[in-house]
């Protein structure tokens, strides 16, 4: 990571940490926790779509898979450490296999999007149909549309009775998203990340230069799946229940909307878009006058029309355009000041 990128990453982390410290004075930590989780989920898609050029309509599949993996493992093990790791590892492994099938099969972007969406809907339909007593993994019943409640939530490793909840869990999620952001920035600043961006810009040229496009896209896809799985694991501990709704089409659509509104091609954009829109949805949920999805659709439409780059890139572009003007004004002012000083000396 070059000096400028390192400085930029540190600045973002410091500013984010300060905001997370101040935020509980305005919004309760219970709500902030789920906003952070949604921000991490959006970050997973922002990575593979914004920097890898891989439009995945099924990011909710890895989100739900991580949550269900954690819940099932926690019921069977009775402690959260191993289930927490499995909630990341299983979506990573599943995304690796699915990505290898997609990219080594050389499917176009359209078919890739359709297949990932179909995979999510398959999970959704299957989990909804597992209400019978025969759908059991170990001692954990899948529960069908009722989901899986009553599993062991996050605890201090090795001590199932020492739960991490409420404010402590909020800070755990804060540390988690800051670490994930730092690791993703490091990955993108590495040679692997730079090649991934080159593949996004011109896949054929990158392949002609000798780079194995398929393996790099598969790895990036798997990393995005792991981050989404981590978000699902954190969500399961926050909600203390997992349901098939985590695989729903609405959930998949919301993740895409978060990334578009926040701004693709950045890491902080999808996070801000997810947290802002999720909080807006939370506020709108307290009234029955306007439908939530209608408001989200309107925001998406206005964003595409007036802020096609997204909120964060548009703000950055406006600042970059304003900076040269200030510098020019300062340059014009200096000769005038010098002339005035010379006249004053001569006078």
d(CA 226, CA 31): 24
N- to C-terminal Cα separation, the chain: 56
Burial classification of residue 254, based on how many CB atoms lie within 10 Å of its CB (0-12 exposed, 13-18 middle, 19 or more buried): buried
Q: What is the pLDDT of residues 50-80, one digit of tens each?
A: 999 998 998 999 999 999 999 999 999 999 9
Q: Where are the alpha helices (DSSP H) in 190-291?
A: 191-201, 203-208, 213-239, 249-262, 268-284
How does residue 345 score in pLDDT terms, banded at 50, 70 and 90? Answer: very low
For the chain, how long is the longest CA-to-CA vector?
Answer: 100
Residue 115 contacts residue 56 (beta carbons within 8 Å): no
d(CA 64, CA 62): 5
d(CA 83, CA 68): 10
**Given the structure tokens 């939370």, which residue do they identify?**
282
How does residue 261 score in pLDDT terms, banded at 50, 70 and 90? Answer: very high
Q: State the average pLDDT over residues 240-254.
A: 92
Q: What pLDDT is stored for residue 303 in this prediction?
A: 84
Mean predicted lDDT score pLDDT of the chain: 88
**Can you give the C-alpha Rg of the chain in angstroms?**
23
How does residue 1 score in pLDDT terms, banded at 50, 70 and 90? Answer: low
Residue 42: how many other CB atoms lie within 10 Å: 32
Q: What pLDDT is stored for residue 347 in this prediction?
A: 44
Q: What is the pLDDT of residues 102-157, one digit of tens each?
A: 999 888 888 888 999 999 999 999 999 998 889 999 999 999 999 999 899 999 99
């Amino acid at each position: 990571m070059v000096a400028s990128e390192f400085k930029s990453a540190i600045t973002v982390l410091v500013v984010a940490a300060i905001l997370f410290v101040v935020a509980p004075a305005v919004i309760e930590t219970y709500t902030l926790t789920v906003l952070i989780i949604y921000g991490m989920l959006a970050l997973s898609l922002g990575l593979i779509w914004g920097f890898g050029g891989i439009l995945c309509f099924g990011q909710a599949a890895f989100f739900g898979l991580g949550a269900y993996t954690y819940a099932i493992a926690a019921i069977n093990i009775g402690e959260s450490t191993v289930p927490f790791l499995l909630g990341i590892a299983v979506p990573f492994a599943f995304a690796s296999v699915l990505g290898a099938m997609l990219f080594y099969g050389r499917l176009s972007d359209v078919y890739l999007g359709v297949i990932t969406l179909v995979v999510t809907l398959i999970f959704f339909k299957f989990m909804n149909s597992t209400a019978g007593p025969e759908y059991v993994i170990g001692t954990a019943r899948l529960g069908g549309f009722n989901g899986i409640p009553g599993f062991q939530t996050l605890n201090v490793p090795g001590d199932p009775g020492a739960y991490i909840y409420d404010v402590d869990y909020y800070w755990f999620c804060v540390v988690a998203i800051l670490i994930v952001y730092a690791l993703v920035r490091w990955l993108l600043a590495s040679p692997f990340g730079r090649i991934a961006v080159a593949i996004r810009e011109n896949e054929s040229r990158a392949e002609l230069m000798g780079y194995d496009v398929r393996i790099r896209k598969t790895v990036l896809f798997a990393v995005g799946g792991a981050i989404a799985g981590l978000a699902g694991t954190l969500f399961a501990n926050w909600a203390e229940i997992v349901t098939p709704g985590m695989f729903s089409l609405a959930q998949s659509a919301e993740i895409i909307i978060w990334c578009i509104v926040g701004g693709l091609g950045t890491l902080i954009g999808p996070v801000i878009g997810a947290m802002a829109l999720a909080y807006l949805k939370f506020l709108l949920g307290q009234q029955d006058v306007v439908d939530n999805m209608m408001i989200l659709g309107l925001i998406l439409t206005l964003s595409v029309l007036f802020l096609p780059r997204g909120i964060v890139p548009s703000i950055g572009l406006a600042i970059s355009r304003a900076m040269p003007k200030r510098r020019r004004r300062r340059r014009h002012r200096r000769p005038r000041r010098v002339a005035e000083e010379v006249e004053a000396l001569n006078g």
